[in-house]
Amino acid sequence: MKQTIINLILLLLILVGCKNTNKINDINEPLLSNIEPVSDIYYDTLITDHYRQIEDLNDTTVLNWFKEQGQYANTFLSNISGRQNLIDLMKKYDARKLYHIDNIKVTKNDSYFYLKRKSDEEIFKLYYQKSLSSNEEMLYKPSDLKLDDKNPFIIYDYSPDWDGNKIAIALASRGSDKMQIVIYDMATKSILPQIIKNNFNASSQVALWLPNNKGFIYLSYNSDTAQNRNALLNTKAMYYKIGDDVSNAIDVFSKATCLNFNIKAEDFPIVSFGNQTNKYLVGVASGPNSFDDGYYLKIEDFYKGELNWKPLYKKEHKVIHGTFVDDDFVFISVNNAPNGNISRINLHNPDFNSSEILVQEKNDEVIQDFKVTSSGLYYNTTINGVEAKLYFYNNEDKNINLPGKFGRIFIDNKSYLESDLWVTATGWLTDKQRMKYDIKSNKFIEESLTPKADFPEFENFMIEELTIKSHDGELVPLSVISKKGIKKDGNNPTLLYGYGAYGISWRPYFLPDWLTWVENGGIICFSHIRGGGEKGDSWHKMGQKNNKPNSWKDFIACSEFLIENKYTSNKKLVIYGGSAGGIVIGKSMTERPDLYTAVISEVGMLNAVRFENMPGGLNHAKEFGYITDSTECKGLIEMDAYLHIDNSVKYPPFLAVVGMNDLRVSPWQSGKFVAKLQANNWSNNTTLMMVDFNEGHYFNSTKTKSMEKLASIFSFAFWQTGHPEYQNK
């Protein structure tokens, strides 16, 4: 018996001595002292939260801990060999083009506005061409804005008025969602003195110009900091008249001004307007939920100062989006049509239950968008989120053959009174192509403003679009990108990405920076799991709220497929996700830690029962569930990866990435998860958190900074797979 006790003591000493054997060196993780656990009872479930203190981002002790975590992570990541080579390769790909052009907007008089960045520049600037054949003119660079905040600005978005005489430019600092709007005057070639602060982007337009060009509508919120949990409550759609003092902006659509409507404090009041000749504004009480209540207002009433908003449609009508064409409202709906149909109603008889269906639902294709022109209606669809198609409707449906096979297309027009249609097409290995469609000749005319670049490396890459059987027999699309002829021997470093939320489809896009993973001998995979919209509204619903387990079970099924079919092994498979994808990544890790060699969560949602304590938390509850609902509360507990960390389980190495200015997902979501993992007595693997105090949710400040972040993520992943070129120096 005595010898048995001695042997047990020796074994414990060996285990304790081995705890840090997988660390690069003997540097210890930063620790928080004097942590007081907090216990809550959620209906019949008692939960003890050991790291609630980390939620207080005004606590200097907590902020210092985040800083130390960032320094600790940088000590590891900056010393991985190969990281700089990744950055150099990304810059090499970027330099293949003399310049990059994005966000092209064409006015009714055929003037072109666009954002442009030369290959040796860090940020985009605003440019203008009077016509497609005219010489370009640089209008504005973000460094022109001088405020007390010394951090650099970027152009988040911009909106020219209908005649192209003035441009509202939204500028973001520190990678934040908080923006300033400045107004550029084409006549004087200067910025007007008024600056609109605390603008938030929750829609496709940061500034909506009225038809008379005298002013625009924008979304305003209430706080200067990401630490205020009420920052995104009671936002307002404000009208600013050019030349007025900003303090005179008028609240035109909000919970406060529309007392008769069921607009909640967490709803984003978004106003849209299709065309300068439209007679109506459309307002929606919006958020990251699928469906909203919609309202309309006559423009002539708006000009009179009479905000007579009237109900247009209800949530139960399941309208995705729509636009007015004279007195007709044309819209995409998934009501009894999960893949969507295109319908219309007339305001003289606005009965959505008996609307006229123009385009019927298709069995295997999901309608993404539509544009009404003088020639007819164009719309685009996708199959499994990865194969794009284009159609034309004018009393009958017609498929338009695209000039190639594309994973994703965007369509754009000027107005329903003109025939112009532009198509921008792209794919996993196909650079963006911007084309104008000529309906008379049925041909696409190249109209890219960006020079073409050659990527001969990618000619040796291949794409496999697969479907994987999940736990309940559902077929989950999986995109696999690798080098041609790669051996399926289980030895390939493989990165599997997952999201699966809000009905958002993870559709193909050309990202050379991401393809550096494949160039370095790896396989990159994108899972199209439930909760996303790749297979329509029903696909979304099957991964929403209490159905959320389907999302991570789909993801685990994809992981198992890759291992069973020898694409990779559990020693080579790294999983990666961001934002709402943190739920999938975190739960896959806690349920099946044996499948993965490393886990990466970027601005991830990892502590579901505390979602409502974030600035945008009540909006997230629309997608994941309300903690005050006894049934949905159980679903939140189940999807909470933080709560499912088991101190007796060995987890794979973990990397979190956070921006301290994040308004959408609070950095403490990752902080608490990291703290709990680092305290795990059985996991002797590295747990790191990249922390940037000058970034927010999107990490979009400069070209180099974005490349450095992705290079750190990839080099960490390669290091954990044992890649010989990515080791600690």
C-alpha span between 637 and 627 (Å, rounded): 9
pLDDT band at 1 (very low <50, low <70, confident <90, very high): very low
Mind listing the pLDDT tens digit for each residue in 485-500? 999 999 999 999 999 9
Task: Judge whether 43-91+455-721 and 100-317 match in fold.
Answer: no
**Mean pLDDT of the 230-254 span:** 93
Amino acid present at 9: I
**Mean pLDDT of the 16-20 span:** 36
C-alpha span between 264 and 618 (Å, rounded): 10
Q: Token pair of 436, please? A: 């104008």
**Mean pLDDT of the 148-161 span:** 82
Residue 391 has pLDDT above 60, yes or no: yes
* Domain 100-317 in CATH 2.130.10.120: yes
Domain ranges of the chain: 43-91+455-721, 100-317, 335-453
CA dihedral 396, 402, 407, 410 (to 10 degrees): -70
Question: Is residue 234 classed exposed, middle or buried when 0-12, 13-18 and 19+ CB atoms within 10 A define those classes?
Answer: middle
- 196 phi/psi in degrees, rounded to 5: -95, 120
CB atoms within 10 A of CB 454: 9
Question: Is residue 316 classed exposed, middle or buried when 0-12, 13-18 and 19+ CB atoms within 10 A define those classes?
Answer: exposed
Mind listing the pLDDT tens digit for each residue in 558-603? 999 999 999 999 999 999 999 999 999 999 999 999 999 999 999 9
Cβ atoms of 562 and 496 within 8 Å: the answer is: yes
Q: Token pair of 516, please? A: 């550096």
C-alpha span between 26 and 658 (Å, rounded): 24
DSSP string covering 139-201: EE-GGG---S--SPEEEEEEEE-TTSSEEEEEEEETT-SEEEEEEEETTTTEE-S--EEEEE-
What is the pLDDT at residue 12? Answer: 34
For the chain, the straight-line distance linking the first and the last C-alpha, in angstroms and rounded, comes to 47
C-alpha span between 378 and 332 (Å, rounded): 12
Q: Which residues pair with 361 in a beta bridge?
A: none
pLDDT band at 9 (very low <50, low <70, confident <90, very high): very low
pLDDT band at 457 (very low <50, low <70, confident <90, very high): very high
Query: What is 43-91+455-721's CATH topology?
Result: Rossmann fold (3.40.50)
Question: Does the CA dihedral 650-654-658-663 come out positive or negative?
Answer: negative
**Mean pLDDT of the 368-388 span:** 97
Across 468-501, b (16+ Cβ under 10 Å) vs e yields: bebeeebebbbbbbbbeebeeebbbbbbbbbbbb
Residue 683 has pLDDT above 60, yes or no: yes
Closest by Cα among 353, 356, 358, 383 to 368: 383
What is the pLDDT at residue 174? Answer: 63
Question: Is residue 348 classed exposed, middle or buried when 0-12, 13-18 and 19+ CB atoms within 10 A define those classes?
Answer: exposed
What is the pLDDT at residue 153? Answer: 87
pLDDT band at 223 (very low <50, low <70, confident <90, very high): low
C-alpha span between 197 and 245 (Å, rounded): 12
C-alpha span between 419 and 707 (Å, rounded): 40
> What one-character DSSP code corresponds to residue 710?
H
pLDDT band at 226 (very low <50, low <70, confident <90, very high): low
Cβ atoms of 601 and 670 within 8 Å: the answer is: yes
What is the pLDDT at residue 15? Answer: 33
**Mean pLDDT of the 255-265 span:** 89
pTM to 2 decimals?
0.93
pLDDT band at 534 (very low <50, low <70, confident <90, very high): very high
Residue 185 has pLDDT above 70, yes or no: yes
Q: Kind of pairing, strands 397-400 and 387-393? A: antiparallel
